[in-house]
Amino acid sequence: EYHCINNNTWYSECEPGCAKPQGQCGGREWKGVTCCTEGYQCRRKDEWYSQCLPPWAPHTGPSPTGRSGRGGCTEAEKQCGGHGYAGPTCCPSGYTCWRKNEWYSQCKPSNSPELARSSASGDDACVGPDTQCSG
């Protein structure tokens, strides 16, 4: 989405709009927009990723695995997704990001009972190791 900037009487130009809520707004090698929709702030997570968050959202600081925006995965049994979650969204080898509900996904062992029940019920809440789950 673009918006028009009137520089003076003779010249106007189109510029990209700001990042949407929860969208990326910065980080090393980031080529996109660096401003956020009104009411949100561009918050640095780590060297590779900044995200548009509301001012009251807790600052999580650098991810424990580093470079979350460049392929770093979360740790076993840790959160890997959910509405508003800003951390790494992939799991280590041998683990699967299991979607408990809209707000929380967790890295579970690939052979865990929760995953077996999800698969048996036809639930599509599971994804394989080293893949993104939820956002």
Q: Is the pTM of this model over 0.75?
A: no
Question: Helix (H, G, I), strand (E, B), or coil: what is residue 22?
Answer: coil
- Provide the residue type at 24 as one letter: Q
- 135 residues of the chain, pLDDT tens digit each: 565 666 678 877 776 688 888 888 888 888 888 888 888 888 888 888 888 888 887 655 443 334 344 456 788 888 888 877 888 878 888 888 888 888 888 888 888 877 766 655 444 444 555 545 555
Short-list 78, 83, 48, CA closest to 62: 48
Beta pairing partners, 43:
51
How is residue 29 annotated by DSSP? Answer: T
Q: What is the signed CA dihedral for 53, 16, 4, 22, rounded to 10 degrees? A: -20
Question: Helix (H, G, I), strand (E, B), or coil: what is residue 6?
Answer: strand
Report the 10 Å Cβ neighbour count for 68.
24
CB 49 within 8 A of CB 69: yes
